[in-house]
Amino acid sequence: MSSKFLKIFPLITLTIAVILHGINFISPLPADYLVFGHLLLILGMVTYALRRKSLTTWILISIVIGIILGRDFPGIALSMQPLSQGFIRLIKTIVGPILFATLVYGIAGHSDLKQVGRMAWKSLLYFYSATTIALFIGLAAINISKAGVGIDASKIPHQELPKTSAVKEADIKALEQIPEANQWLFKTTAFFRDIFPENIVKSIYENQVLQIVIFAVIFGIGLAQLPEQKKKPLVDFMESLAETMFKYTHIIMYFAPIGVGAAMAYTVGHMGIDILRYLFMLLITLYAALIAFILLVLLPIALYMKVPIKKFIEAIKEPVSIAFATTSSDAALPVVMQNMERFGVPRKVVSFVVPTGYSFNLDGTTLYLSLASIFVAQAAGMHLSFGQQLLICLTLMITSKGVAAIPRASLIILIATADQFGLPTFIIAAILGIDELMDMGRTSVNVIGNCLASVVIAKWEGEFDQEKALAFQAE
């Protein structure tokens, strides 16, 4: 009897919570009634999670619990921020070692340097095609919705923006000596300069993904050219290090429900509900555009490449849940690499495509940047011709590459783009209020895009294990 009751208890608590909200919609109830319903719902969800004993279930439920805590107990929710920060810190300890070890082992362990070259140009071709389409979908979405048209700019809260620039301070003097018409070329070449590490320890410390990738690729190529006797100890060490980091990840993931739930609680407690009033349309436009990109671009690619969709969704749901709640692609990276390998993508492909994609295949971020740039112009009452909008997109095609996989780093690129095209930055400050909600969506699409990219390149190379994919089971 008790076992049957435990099975239906979560459904009972959900029903009570829905009924209370229904009554409140018709005739407002005292706040304590809704709080009671939410606490009962939390109890029901925890009961369900204890029965399922699934990490993914715990993560998804912790997101809902975080939302409830943020709404009903904002003080407690704000106090939980250190837990989410601690989880992100743990994850960041993984990124450098796992990227370096898997890349070096993937290159030197197989000694097929021609395949590395093939994967490089195939990956970059795919990345640029996908992100360019994403830019134009974002451009189309904001022009259709016109979310920024008619906004009273005087009602937008003036908030101090992060002091940042697309150009390093050391380069400012150099730019002063270059004609304005040629400054874009200097900025472009400076970007390529900055992808090369001057100190690999510093790059790992700062989680400079692209710099770690460049160093690991060159190191791996050098190691591959050594005689077998001399390279074997290092190759074996890299394999052991990679395996150790995967086990390390598995241990850390037990903390994920707490870290993810705390992150969501802080987000809701920090923002509140009323702040969405002026920017709700922008949020809807972004999510509609992201869904359109998934359905019109990623899904057809997956179907054309004959990817088992249901199993693919099962493989990505955990990393996407983590990315959604933490707004950090880095937080999902270890699970992405682990799950894609279990899904049938060879390690040498995963270890090259996924880290490279973190700098060159940020589909959600590039879509957001084109959409947000035009929104700023609309809110300011500025009419941009199609040619001007196209120029902004072409600029973003370059500047959006190399955006760090950390929360709200795309804000830096948006501010730099606004400065370059004379758009008012105080309107961008208003976006900060819902940037966390938007970051959840665009980061999730970044992760989905990179997971699919690894499968596409593996199939393109003829090395995808279809049977392994069909047999995939979530842990």
Q: Which parts of 82-203 are beta strand (E)? A: none
Query: Tokens in use for 172?
Result: 């400012």
Task: Provide the 10 A C-beta neighbour count for residue 230.
Answer: 9
Q: What is the mean pLDDT of residues 125-136?
A: 91
Domain ranges across the chain: 54-470
Query: What pLDDT does 126 receive?
Result: 92
Tell me whether residue 184 is exposed, middle or buried, using C-beta atoms within 10 angstroms of its C-beta: 0 to 12, 13 to 18, 19 or more: middle
Regarding predicted confidence, which is higher, 380 or 452?
Answer: 452
What are the structure tokens assigned to 320, written together?
């996407």
Q: How far apart are CA 372 and CA 88, in angstroms?
A: 27
Within 10 angstroms of residue 169's Cβ, the number of other Cβ atoms is 7
The confidence score (pLDDT) of residue 449 equals 94
- Segment 184-207 mean pLDDT: 79
Distance between CA 211 and CA 241 in Å, rounded? 20
For the cut 80, the answer to whether the pLDDT of residue 115 exceeds it is: no
Diameter of the chain measured on Cα atoms: 82
By C-alpha distance, which of 106, 100, 112, 108 is closest to 221?
A: 108
Q: Distance (Å, rounded) from C-alpha 310 to C-alpha 44?
A: 28
What tokens were used for 122?
A: 């195939």
More confident of the two residues 165 and 31? 31
In this prediction, residues 186-190 reach a mean pLDDT of 76
422/23: higher pLDDT: 23
Dist. CA 341–CA 336, nearest whole Å: 8
* Percentage of residues of the chain with pLDDT beyond 90: 16
DSSP string for 4-34: HHHHHHHHHHHHHHHHHHHHHHHSPPPHHHH
3-state SS class at 73? coil
C-alpha span between 194 and 224 (Å, rounded): 26
Is the separation of the CB atoms in 291 and 134 below 8 Å?
A: no
Listed range (32-46, 135-149, 172-186, 343-357) with the worst mean pLDDT? 172-186
**Is the confidence at residue 166, as pLDDT, over 70?**
no
Does residue 1 carry a pLDDT above 50? Answer: no
Report the pLDDT value the prediction gives residue 295, as an integer from 0 to 100: 96
What distance in Å separates the CA atoms of residue 354 and residue 452, rounded to the nearest whole number?
A: 10
**Of the listed ranges 134-138, 233-237, 392-396, 454-458, the one predicted with least confidence:** 392-396
164, pLDDT greater than 60 = no
pTM of the model: 0.67
Report phi then psi at 405, rounded to 5: -85, 60
Tokens found for residue 95? 């990124």
CATH for 54-470, options being 1.10.357.10, 2.60.40.10, 1.10.3720.10, 1.10.3860.10: 1.10.3860.10
Can you give the pLDDT at residue 311?
93
Distance between CA atoms of residues 409 and 358, nearest Å: 13
Q: Residue 134's pLDDT is what? A: 93
pLDDT digits (tens, 9 = 90+) for 212-244: 878 888 898 888 888 888 888 998 898 898 888
- Burial of 10-27, coded b for 16+ CB within 10 Å and e otherwise, reads beebbeebeebeeeeeee
Question: For helices 81-108 and 228-252, what crossing angle results, to 10°?
Answer: 160
Considering only CA atoms, give the Rg of the chain: 23
pLDDT at 277 over 60: no
Over residues 357-380, the pLDDT tens digits come to 877 788 998 899 889 888 888 877
Averaged pLDDT of the chain: 80
Contacts of 87 (CB under 8 A, 6+ apart): 255, 256, 258, 259, 260, 262, 263, 326, 331
pLDDT for 118 equals: 82
pLDDT at 18: 85
pLDDT number for residue 411: 63
Calculate mean pLDDT across residues 288-301.
96
**All residues at 6 or more sequence positions from 174 whose CB lies less than 8 Å from its CB, including other chains:** 186
Q: Is the pLDDT of residue 426 over 80?
A: no
Taking CA 318 as the corner, what is the angle to CA 315 and CA 323, rounded to the nearest 5 degrees? 120
Nearest to 291 by CA among 403, 409, 444: 444
Give the amino acid at 228.
E
Share of the chain above pLDDT 70, in %: 84
Residue 183 tokens, joined: 């400054």
Mean pLDDT of 92-118: 75
Could you tell me the pLDDT band of residue 432, with boundaries at 50, 70 and 90?
Answer: low
Confidence label for 304 from pLDDT (cuts 50, 70 and 90): very high
> What is the rounded distance in angstroms from the CA atom of residue 187 to the CA atom of residue 353?
26
> In the block, which residue shows the tokens 């008619």?
150
pLDDT higher than threshold 90 for residue 292: yes
261 pLDDT tier (thresholds 50, 70, 90): confident
Cα separation of 338 and 331, whole Å?
13
More confident residue, 34 or 112: 34
Confidence of residue 165 (pLDDT cuts 50, 70, 90): very low
